[in-house]
Amino acid sequence: MGERVRHRRSDVVEHALSVLDRYGLADLSMRRLATDLGVQPSALYHHFASKQLLLAAVADELLARGRRDERATEGEWDELVAVVCGELRDAMLAYRDGAELVAAVSAFGLGARRPADELEQILGAAGLAPAGARLAARTLLHFVFGHVADEQTQLQASASGAIDGLPQDSDFAVGLSIVIAGIRDLILRQGNELPKNLSWVMGR
């Protein structure tokens, strides 16, 4: 007889998030998911053609769950950037290896596009040319991904007893303000002569 157990796409993603949070990204495999769900691995490929596409769906769901009910949509560009980056950090910290997952999916161009798209829109409205807005958005994302990955590594090391105590208060806000200050400097220099290697950022 054929396999009778059926799971919706959302069921698979839901369980994948649970496995991620309990065991980490390294143990999030199609075989483990299939075993836990009581199906053959081939059944999962009905919803996802590859593990990479499954991870992309998991990353998108992770970000969707981290969406704040109330968030600023108007205001100074630097305040909006801080909101997007802070929300991204919170979403990734909510799940074990969240930063590693979202960063990998983003790097492969398979998903997790919302933060990048929002940052590019904000920075474009602030005055950066499209190419410059993309570069600035990637720079911000690299900072957030790296910082959260470091935080999660310390938390896991502390939990396993590899290091004593929990990490000190995060310097995330300070680091983010430094990156934003560099972007602000570029925007403020619009009315002045830019060095040749920076003029393209402003579309000049």
Residue 3: per-residue pLDDT = 46
* The architecture CATH gives domain 9-49: Orthogonal Bundle (1.10)
Residue 200: per-residue pLDDT = 47
Q: How far apart are CA 21 and CA 152, in angstroms?
A: 12
What's the chain's length in residues? 204
Residue 75: per-residue pLDDT = 84
Q: How far apart are CA 51 and CA 49, in angstroms?
A: 7
Which DSSP string do the residues of 128-192 spell out, in sequence order?
--HHHHHHHHHHHHHHHHHHHHHHHHHHHHHHHTSSSSPPPSP-HHHHHHHHHHHHHHHHHGGGS
Q: How far apart are CA 68 and CA 170, in angstroms?
A: 20
Euclidean distance between the first and the last CA atom of the chain, given in angstroms as a whole number: 67
Q: How many CB atoms lie within 10 A of CB 71?
A: 11
Looking at the domain 70-202, which fold is it?
Answer: Tetracycline Repressor; domain 2 (1.10.357)
pLDDT (tens digit per residue) in 148-172: 999 998 887 766 666 666 555 678 9
CATH 1.10.10 domain extents, the chain? 9-49
Q: Which two tokens stand for residue 181?
A: 């200050």
CATH 1.10.357.10 domain extents, the chain? 70-202
Residue 196: per-residue pLDDT = 52
The set of residues, in sequence order, having a beta carbon less than 8 Å from that of 21 and lying 6+ positions away, is 95, 96
Dihedral sign from CA coordinates of 197, 200, 201, 202: positive
Residue 92: per-residue pLDDT = 96
**pLDDT by position in tens, the chain (length 204):** 344 446 788 889 999 999 999 999 999 989 899 888 888 888 888 889 899 999 999 999 999 998 876 666 678 999 999 999 999 999 999 999 999 999 999 999 988 899 999 999 999 999 888 888 999 999 999 999 999 999 998 887 766 666 666 555 678 999 999 999 999 988 887 644 444 555 545 555
This prediction has a pTM of 0.84
